[in-house]
Amino acid sequence: MHLTKCLFYLQLPKRSLLLAACAACIGGTFQYGYNISIINAPTMYVHNFINQTWRDRYQTNISEDVLTLLWSTIVSIFTLGGLIGATIGGTLSVKLGRKGTLLANNISALTAALLMGLSYPTGYFELLIIGRLLTGVNAGIGICVQPLYLGEIAPTAFRGAMGMGTSIFITGGILTGQVIGLKEILGREEYWPILLSTTCIPAFLQLLILPWFPESPRYLLIDKGDNEACKKALKQLHGVVSCDDEREDIEKEKNNLAGVQTKKPWELLMDRSVRWQLLTIILLNIAQQLNGINAIYFYAGYVFKRSGIPDDKIPYVTVGTGACECITALTCGVLIECLGRKVLISGGYALMSIFCILFTLTLTFQVFNLKTRSIFKIVITLIYSRPAAYMIAGSVNWLSFFFIGLVFPFIVIGLQQYCFLVFLAICSLVAIYIFLVVPETKNKTFLEIQTEFQSSNSRKVYNADGAGTILLSTSI
């Protein structure tokens, strides 16, 4: 029976639904992953450009400390832009709609590409800082709104698999950036301005493809009150046969929201009825950045060099790690509806705890030959379902991203080969929390998930008219 269910979930949803998801992802979380990895390849070339520009302006060489500060600013300001994007993404998704926000978001990506491309011919390295800030804003809005759009256009049976599009396109973006940055393509010194400007390509693709697909049916019916547009969108995305059932679920959710006052993010923080849901969102977003995955990327050069890999081969080994991560994300997309979200998330953090031990042993005793073994990583993405929650989740995620980028070098200096023990503790605690607190969400509507969350934590709070004040059904 279980095998039959798994085979059912392996069936593909309607083609228009898949194309809509791809169109949303290519200009959303793909950009996030792409801009994380693309900045690594031209590091030395940008250093040379800053040094030459400084010399032309001030007739003296730039100091090493100032050069390091400028370069770290170019790299890390991406996370501050992401924080800005995350804080405004939820509001924009209500004002402009999910689809409208994704389309408008491409303005920042196109502007960033133009500024970074003009930095070299104009001799202004400051344009790189502004451009990276704008790519961060683009990524922050995209990673906030795109999963919201995917979760609302997907039928209940495919919501988990569709939601994995977020992880798949993030890892695909990281891998694409690593490949494009190789010397055989755009990784040579004369091409680095073009390399940084390629962020415009996903933006153009989304602007060409996404307009052909509808707005989120849930947004059309609940937020806009447009019944006909909702029906049309469901027919295009789900087909004539299944659209009535999905519309009925949205209608139930709308009725449940009757009389419920809409909430702002700060109001959610004060609402005791959603304390456990909000705590889970915050903890999982912090864990996404503090579980060691980004640290592995930061530390890859050191690990590979300690393992005896020549410097000129390290970029290709790094591409291999990106490919492994991408394959893992694709595998999770198939397994999520068979095994359930809770099993994969808790199991993933348990496996990452084991890998943290292995990395510690590798760095301490050098007992593994990294030339002959692959590095496997579990990519965990929780698909949250409402704008206010997304704003909180996104802000926490980007703050944690900034924190790990700032603090990890000091962890390495202080703990050296034992640095991954910090991530071992984090991953272990998160796995235990998920196992004990978070309910399974497989094949359940948003309202069913909310009911189980409240029941499992004995925290049922209802309004006088019987409608629950719920996080998973709250708009701004």
Kindly tell me the burial class for residue 110, based on how many C-beta atoms sit within 10 Å of its own C-beta (0-12, 13-18, 19 or more): middle
Count the Cβ atoms, other than its own, within 10 Å of residue 104: 14
Question: Are residues 47 and 182 located together in one domain of the fold?
Answer: yes
pTM, two decimals, is: 0.73
Q: What is the largest CA-CA distance in the chain?
A: 76
Q: Which residues of 319-336 are buried (b: 16+ CB within 10 A; e: fewer)?
A: bebbbbbbebbeebbebb
- Asked, for residue 281, whether it belongs to a domain, the answer is yes
- Tracing tokens 């994995």 back to the chain, one arrives at 164
300 shares its domain with 200: no
CB 54 within 8 A of CB 356: no
CA triple 137-139-145, angle to 5 deg: 100
Both 52 and 153 in one domain: the answer is yes
Total number of domains constituting the chain: 2
Q: What pLDDT was estimated at residue 134?
A: 96
For residue 8, is it within any domain?
Answer: no
Grouping H, G, I as helix, E, B as strand and the rest as coil, residue 462 is: strand
The answer on 189 and 288 residing in a single domain is no
User: Among 168, 144, 164, 169, which residue's Cα sits nearest to residue 154?
Assistant: 164
Cα angle 5, 8, 11; round to 5:
155
Residue 348 in any domain: the answer is: yes
pLDDT value, residue 396: 73
pLDDT at 408: 66
**How far is the CA of 159 from the CAs of 54, 380, 473, in angstroms?**
52, 15, 16
Question: If pLDDT is split at 50, 70 and 90, which confidence band does 454 have?
Answer: low
| Region of residue 458 (phi > 0: left; psi between -120 and 50: alpha; otherwise: beta) | left
Residues 189 and 327 in one domain: no
Residues 188 and 308 in one domain: no
Look at residue 469 and tell me if it is in a domain.
no
pLDDT for the residue 122: 94
From the list 205, 209, 227, the residue with the least C-alpha distance to 218 is 227
Q: Which of 212-221, 265-274, 462-471 has the lowest mean pLDDT?
A: 462-471
- Residue 203 and residue 328 in one domain: no
In a domain, 278, yes or no: yes
Q: Supply 471's token pair.
A: 């996080």
Q: What is the mean pLDDT of residues 22-31?
A: 91
Q: What is the pLDDT of residue 300?
A: 55
Where residue 342 sits, what CATH number does that domain have?
A: 1.20.1250.20
Residue 472 within any structural domain of the chain: no
Q: In terms of domains, do 176 and 299 share one? A: no
Q: Which residue has the tokens 């400051």?
A: 126
- Among 177, 97, 89, CA closest to 140: 89
- Element containing residue 37 per DSSP (H, E): helix 29-37
User: 196 with 53, same domain?
Assistant: yes
> Which domain range does residue 121 map to?
13-213
Q: Which residue has the higher pLDDT, 162 or 20?
A: 20
Helix (H, G, I), strand (E, B) or coil at 468: strand
CA distance 335 to 269: 33
- pLDDT per position as a tens digit, 371-426: 333 333 323 234 333 555 656 666 777 777 777 766 665 676 677 767 777 777 88
Across 54-70, average pLDDT? 88
Per-residue model confidence (pLDDT) at position 164: 74
Q: Is residue 90 part of a domain?
A: yes
Residues 162 and 289 in one domain: no
Q: Minimal CA–CA distance to 153: which of 242, 282, 256, 261?
A: 242
Is 225 part of a structural domain of the chain? no
How many CA atoms are closer than 13 Å to the CA of 229, on its beta-carbon side?
A: 14
Residues 282 and 405 in one domain: yes
Enumerate the β-bridge partners of residue 110. Answer: none
Phi, psi of 378 (to 5 degrees): -95, 125
Confidence of residue 135 (pLDDT cuts 50, 70, 90): very high
* pLDDT tens digits, one per residue of 331-380: 765 666 566 666 667 777 777 777 677 766 766 665 434 333 333 332 32
Q: 139-151: per-residue pLDDT in tens?
A: 999 988 998 898 8
DSSP string, 355-412: HHHHHHHHHHH--S-TTTS------------SHHHHHHHHHHHHHHHHHHHHHHHHHH
Residue 250 near residue 224, CB atoms below 8 Å = no
DSSP 471: S
Highest mean predicted confidence (pLDDT) among 85-94, 119-128, 383-392? 119-128
Position 58 scores a pLDDT of 92
- What are the tokens at 139? 């990524």
Whether residue 208 is found in the same domain as residue 271 = no
Domain end call among 183, 213, 243: 213
